[in-house]
Amino acid sequence: MTVAITREVSSRFSECELTHIDRTPIDVNVARAQHHEYVNSLAALGCQIVELPAETDLPDSVFVEDTAFILPEVAVITRPGADSRKPETESIIHALSPYRPLVHVTDPATVDGGDVLVLGKNIYVGLSTRSTASALEQLQNLLNNYGYTIIGAEMQDCLHLKTAVTRVDDKTLLINKNWVAPSYFKGYELIEVDPAEPFAANCLPVGDGIIYPTTFPKTKQRLEEKGFMVSTVNVDELAKAEGAVTCCSLII
């Protein structure tokens, strides 16, 4: 059984952190409705949903992906790069402890889960504004015993590594080559985003389907042409906070 941990949208969502996009008015009720639709599509693809209550004082806390990443053997609790987001991990520790032994990234290192792309035993970590070189070192030490290799990936012009590249299946990645070099991912089939849709590289494979924003029809067509079953959700209001589909859940 696949479990998806999600968290309801904070009433202070419009006070979110922003790095690469301009602030535009956010309607929290619309964001909540879209999040609800997202959670429903996770359930429709077979996930058992564990929805945590909203954390009013943590505007970005709907983006649970940044607080942890989950491996078959262990879950890693991150230390998010933005100070406003560091307290988000507390409730996630409680939520994840029934499922995995936990290990922790500690001060002074920071890493956002959105920068962590797990491809088998290779774990790529985006060298973004949120994730530090010392986090790479800590992660390597924490995960050595399980046979993982941590690989730092240079990236540019976007918030997280997974804004630039995500896993579609075991052999296939969806990528914006302007934001991360394809040479990191030799041996994978790379589906490029349509040039008109630079933010389209973030998809969430779950069960037999791919959860994907409605906003990127041209790239969606590229996924469908390769035989992937794409299930679209409107996450435009969440995207105003620089979020996308991977960031709103932790998949176990």
- Residues belonging to the active site: 160, 247
39 part of the interface to ligand CIR, by CB under 6 A = no
16 part of the interface to ligand CIR, by CB under 6 A = yes
Residue choice 79, 160, 167, 220 for contact with ligand CIR (CB under 6 A)? 160
Radius of gyration of the chain (CA): 17
Q: Taking contact as CB under 6 A, which single stretch among the options 2-10, 49-57, 61-69, 203-211 is the one that binds ligand CIR?
A: 61-69
Residue choice 55, 60, 88, 237 for contact with ligand CIR (CB under 6 A)? 60
Alpha-carbon distance of 250 to 247, in angstroms, equals 8
Residue 66 CB, shortest distance to ligand CIR, in Å, is 5
Residue type (1 letter), 203: C
User: DSSP per residue over 94-120, as a string?
Assistant: HHHTTTS-EEE--TT--B-GGGEEEET
38 part of the interface to ligand CIR, by CB under 6 A = no
243 part of the interface to ligand CIR, by CB under 6 A = yes
55 part of the interface to ligand CIR, by CB under 6 A = no
- Angle (nearest 5°) at CA 251 between 173 and 14: 90
- With b meaning 16 or more CB within 10 Å and e meaning fewer, what string describes 195-223? eebbbbbbbbbbeebbbbbebbeebbebb
The residues that touch ligand CIR, with contacts defined as CB under 6 A, are 16-17, 19, 60, 63, 65-66, 82, 85, 114, 159-160, 241-244, 247
